[in-house]
Amino acid sequence: MADLGILLKQLDYRFKDSSLLDEALSHRSSGSHNYERLEFLGDSFLNFVIAAELYNSRPDEDEGALSRLRASLVRQSTLAEIARELNLGDFMNLGIGELRSGGFRRDSILSDVVESIIGAVFMDSGHEAARALILRLYKDRVVNLPPSAELKDPKTRLQELLQGRSLSRPEYEVVDASGKSHDMSFTVACTLPELTLKVRATATSRRKAEQAAAARMLEDLQQQLNT
């Protein structure tokens, strides 16, 4: 494990109770003293702080838009980005199995640890210190968010575009699924019968493949509508 002093410097925080940081960095594979309870607390407080920041900084956005903006900031991939900026994988305490399988690189674990650290700071010094940490970790992410409409997923944007032109909904079909149970690959076709448009996309889950196909269809459809 790397020198925790480096991590503390990046967090710009010193723990009164260092055992909280140890707990926050410990995956359940390492034993019963792990981050799961702190992650639960940190997740809840993170959502509240980000919601409050968006409420104050985006006064013209409605509830749906604020929810999309918040989701983009607290989703697993964003938290994993923050974890990688902090090199959290170097500081985590993992069981031998998770260590060998590369758990220190996995988005799901990295994102949990960011939330558990937030929970640990909350328990160590209260809500103001935890809020300050969140704002440091997110830096310009709240300010630089794109318009909420751009954060809608491709399937939603495609459907809204079609509805605006009185066209039928797209049809999605899994045309291929292959691989072992822990490493599946799905190919989905997205079809617009009225416009005789059809595209395919492949991803590691049906949902991701549908979204990828919708994104590809959006590109094709916008090109067609602009010609």
Q: Please, what is the Cα angle at 187 between 182 and 193, to 5 degrees?
A: 150
Kindly write down the DSSP assignment for every residue of 165-209, as one continuous string. TT-PPPEEEEEEEES-TTS-EEEEEEEEGGGTEEEEEEESSHHHH
Whether the CB-CB separation of 178 and 158 falls below 8 Å is answered with no
From the list 43, 53, 124, 210, the catalytic residue is 43
Consult the annotation and say whether 39 binds a ligand: yes
Q: Clarify whether 115 is annotated catalytic.
A: yes
Consult the annotation and say whether 85 binds a ligand: no
Q: Clarify whether 107 is annotated catalytic.
A: no
DSSP element (H, E) containing 38: helix 36-57
From the list 53, 115, 124, 210, the catalytic residue is 115
Q: Beta partners for 190?
A: 172, 199
Structure tokens given for 10: 């990046």
Sign of CA dihedral 87, 92, 97, 98: negative
Tell me the one-letter amino acid at 91: F
Backbone phi and psi for residue 180, each to the nearest 5 degrees, phi listed first: -75, 160
Residues with a known catalytic role:
43, 115
Give the residue numbers of the binding site: 39, 112, 115
Give the residue numbers of the binding site for Mg(2+): 39, 112, 115
